[in-house]
Amino acid sequence: MKSILAIDDKRSNLITITALINDQMPDCKVLIAMSGKEGIEIAKKEQPDTILLDIIMPEMDGFETCKRLKEDALTKHIPVVLITAFKIDTESRIKGLNIGADAFLSKPIDSSELMAQVNVMLRIKEVEDKLRSEKVALEDIVKKRTIKISEQNRKLQREIIERKQTEEKIKNLSSRNQLILDTTMDGYVLTNLDGKIVDVNPAYCTMIGYSKEELLEMNITDLDAEIKPKEISLKTKQLLSQGYSRNESIQRCKNGKVLNLDMSIGVMHINETPMVFYFIRNITSQKYAEKIQRVLLNISNAAITKDNLIELICSIKDELGTVIDTTNFYIALYNDETDTLSLPFIEDEKDVVTSIPSGNTLTYYVIKTQSTLLATKEKLKELEDLGEVGKYGSDSEIWLGVPLKIKGKVFGVLVVQSYTDEFAYDESDVEILEFISEQISIAIKRKDDEQKLKEAFDKATESDRLKSVFLATMTHELRTPLNAVIGFSEIIKTEDLSIDEIKTFNKTINISGNHLLNIVEDIFEITLIETGELKLAKESVSLQKLLNEVHEFIKIEQQNTEKEHIDLRLKIPPELKKISIETDPLKFKQILINLLKNALKFTPKGSVEYGIIKDHISKEALLKFYVKDTGIGIPKNKREIIFEIFRQVEESHSRTYGGTGIGLSIAKKLTELLGGKIWIDPNFTKGSTFYFTIPYKDKGEDDDGEIRSTKRMGKLKNKTILIVEDNKTSSNYLNFILTKSGAITICAENGEIAVASVEKNAAIEVVLMDLYMPVMDGYEATKRIKSIRPDLPVIAQTAFAVEGDRENALEAGCDDYITKPIKKELLLELIKKYV
């Protein structure tokens, strides 16, 4: 229902208005107020659709009331119709319009005008209300929208802030990642799926030696020795399915060096493109250390497992070869006692040598300085200029030698060198070699000692064996002739025999005795040589005479050994027949006789030829003698050892040929003592040929050598010879030989009697003086005899084994000497020299 508020201070007016409205608009409610104040109260409260307001009212007139109504938000929308006092009250109307009045009515109020005005106002009010409510609705919508928008706005703001924060975080994170990549020690490489490098970090550049720009032009397969270009797609596929892999690989640096790398490889998406990343750690030194550890271990194992030094060094070379270039490799061992170097092992592209002179070689330099030498060409030149080293062997581009030491003492050098690459070795190789050299030294020293020990053991075993062989041989060699001597002398003594039988048996006894004597002499001789007590008595002798004497002797030997069927020949080139040589004649003859005896012994049939080889003669040079036979020969593998004492080709108990194995070793030692050499022709296949040399000084011809000796050869008939000898048997033996030769003998038992005899008997022409006698010895007696008759020749009888006899005898004044046991031929020959 509509309502109209009428405000008028006059009740009558109010009644009129109420009646009019009730009449015209029965559905409309009329509210009344008697003052402006009351009217405002009611208007606020009841919200009438139109207000009819009288202008003239006490206290608050209609203008004031209208003004307040229009100023109040609760009432300003209510249309106000001002009721003026008279019709044309323009002033009031203007005033009323200014303060917001909507229409005017004038008094007396015309009902139709009132109704018309009221209706208009109601319609306006209705429209206004609608408008207002629409506006409110609109405002509400706007408000709601605004709220929503501002909410959305706030959300957006939040999102923007969050996004900004995230972006900031991401920015921070990626710069942190970049920082990590830039500063990490590990290498980082990013490639596409084809292996093309798209990013690397500084650590990788340092590691591999290429710049970032160079690397960005490369493919990972250009660097990685383990990945072949055609395998990259397969590898990437595997990686894509696994997502991650870790493996060790090998890459080659720009400078050619090979690196061992530990790689973590994975796939990541950058802008939705899959990429392969590599995190790379350089484990070269770790690998190196592992390798070196392995080398050390293997070398120490080899020291135990390898059989000999060569095998050990071979395996050291192979092991070292896993860490450095050992194409040219050798080990030299140093003997500080002899100051010499031996080369047990060498493998070299150019030089094949077996020894190194210890002079001014690089190897010797390392030993001298006791420190490692890395000799580049410049260093070598420097050392050469200083005179520290000289040229030896082929020139190498670089030479590296490390001393091998045990307890600080250098005993060898390990050397590697390159003929092609001057950069083959550097300081790091020096470090490695020095590090490993200790282990190598221990291994080599150990094996060397072991080998020496083994050699000593073998030698001891061998000498033990030889001792047994020697004892067996000796027993046999001594017993056989002794049996003959004892057996046959027994028969002669007891049996009734014919003269011929006695002569035959006697010959056997004599041969056996001589044989025994030879053995005894050989043993004495070798003992003297071995103990260094043998002295040489050199003199100038005619070569022809020496050889003739040997020939005479060996012919007798040939008869005694029943080898007369062997054709024995002595060949002396005519131009040498008259020369004389400076040597010890006895020793010289002994060498030749030993060889000839063997030649006869080991030649069942055929010939034995000996002599001098002409073309080897020169001034201050050597005379070369030979003894050639057509006998059983000597196997090649025995041609060296038979010169060792007691060694024989046949060492079994069932030997075909007798012998003690001493003869050749005496011959060898005597030859060396005389300044020569002895050997067997290594190529001889039929029989054997021995050679020996002795120094020869051209002293001119000795043409009367032979004549002189023949001149001296006089008869002993009626020559008086004094035999001074305390041993009855020996005295009888000498007496028998000399009287048989026609000489007159006088015997004295000691030196005193001898001196007295000389004083008494002027007929004495030669004295045969024993040296060891009771009362007065031979030395003293000789001195005294010489003081009485200085020209009387005195020949001393010396004992073979007694060192110094000969020298002492000569010193005491003896003119010559003869060694006991005295042989008939030699004695007669000697005495004839002096009568």
Close Cβ partners of 165 (under 8 Å, ≥ 6 residues apart): none
* Residues numbered 293-312 forming contacts with ligand ADP, rule: CB under 6 A: none
CA-only gyration radius of the chain, Å: 71
Provide the minimum distance between the beta carbon of 693 and ligand ADP in the complex, in angstroms, as a whole number. 18
- Binding residue for ligand ADP (CB under 6 A) from 410, 642, 746, 748? 642
| Residue 404 makes contact with ligand ADP by CB under 6 A | no
Nearer to ligand ADP, 115 or 632 (CB): 632
Judged by DSSP in three states, 182 sits in helix
Sign of dihedral through CA atoms 56, 58, 63, 68? negative
Provide the minimum distance between the beta carbon of 518 and ligand ADP in the complex, in angstroms, as a whole number. 9
Nearer to ligand ADP, 663 or 813 (CB): 663
Enumerate the H helices of 374-426 as residue ranges: 377-385
Nearer to ligand ADP, 484 or 649 (CB): 649
Q: Which stretch binds ligand ADP (CB under 6 A): 101-109, 464-472, 545-553, 654-662?
A: 654-662
Q: How buried is 21 (Cβ within 10 angstroms: 0-12 exposed, 13-18 middle, 19+ buried)?
A: buried
Provide the minimum distance between the beta carbon of 738 and ligand ADP in the complex, in angstroms, as a whole number. 33
C-beta separation of 279 from 247 below 8 A:
no
Nearer to ligand ADP, 21 or 519 (CB): 519
CA distance 487 to 465: 32
CA distance 61 to 99: 13
DSSP string across 557-585: HHHHTT-TTSEEEEE--GGGTTBEEEE-H
- Binding residue for ligand ADP (CB under 6 A) from 279, 330, 602, 696? 602
Q: Which stretch binds ligand ADP (CB under 6 A): 319-327, 386-394, 647-655, 771-779?
A: 647-655
Nearer to ligand ADP, 266 or 606 (CB): 606
Q: Which of 283, 321, 284, 277 is nearest to 299 (CA)?
A: 321
User: CB 307: neighbour CB atoms within 10 A?
Assistant: 11
Provide the minimum distance between the beta carbon of 660 and ligand ADP in the complex, in angstroms, as a whole number. 5
Nearer to ligand ADP, 196 or 655 (CB): 655
Tokens 């530990």 -> residue: 262
- Which letter does DSSP use for residue 540 in this model? E
C-beta separation of 429 from 400 below 8 A:
yes
Judged by DSSP in three states, 227 sits in coil
CA distance readout (Å), 109 to 14, 21, 116: 11, 12, 12
* Residues numbered 674-733 forming contacts with ligand ADP, rule: CB under 6 A: 688
CA distance 413 to 418: 17
Sign of dihedral through CA atoms 611, 615, 617, 622? negative
Nearer to ligand ADP, 228 or 467 (CB): 467
Task: Kindly determine how many residues on this chain lie close enough to bind ligand ADP according to the rule CB under 6 A.
Answer: 20
- Binding residue for ligand ADP (CB under 6 A) from 648, 731, 745, 782? 648
* Residues numbered 561-600 forming contacts with ligand ADP, rule: CB under 6 A: 598-599
- Binding residue for ligand ADP (CB under 6 A) from 583, 660, 735, 745? 660
C-beta separation of 252 from 259 below 8 A:
yes
Q: Which stretch binds ligand ADP (CB under 6 A): 390-398, 415-423, 641-649, 787-795?
A: 641-649
Q: Which of 199, 243, 245 is nearest to 220 (CA)?
A: 199
Provide the minimum distance between the beta carbon of 602 and ligand ADP in the complex, in angstroms, as a whole number. 3
* Residues numbered 605-634 forming contacts with ligand ADP, rule: CB under 6 A: 629, 631-634
CA distance 796 to 810: 8
- Binding residue for ligand ADP (CB under 6 A) from 187, 403, 659, 676? 659
Nearer to ligand ADP, 566 or 743 (CB): 566
Nearer to ligand ADP, 140 or 650 (CB): 650
Nearer to ligand ADP, 332 or 550 (CB): 550
Starting from the edge strand earliest in sequence, which strands make up the sheet with 621-629, in order? 567-571, 607-613, 621-629, 689-696, 678-680
Helices and strands (DSSP H and E) totals, the chain: 24, 28
Nearer to ligand ADP, 249 or 660 (CB): 660
Provide the minimum distance between the beta carbon of 459 and ligand ADP in the complex, in angstroms, as a whole number. 19
Provide the minimum distance between the beta carbon of 534 and ligand ADP in the complex, in angstroms, as a whole number. 17
* Residues numbered 661-680 forming contacts with ligand ADP, rule: CB under 6 A: 661-665
Nearer to ligand ADP, 130 or 571 (CB): 571
Give contact residues for ligand ADP (rule: CB under 6 A).
Answer: 598-599, 602, 629, 631-634, 642, 648-650, 659-665, 688
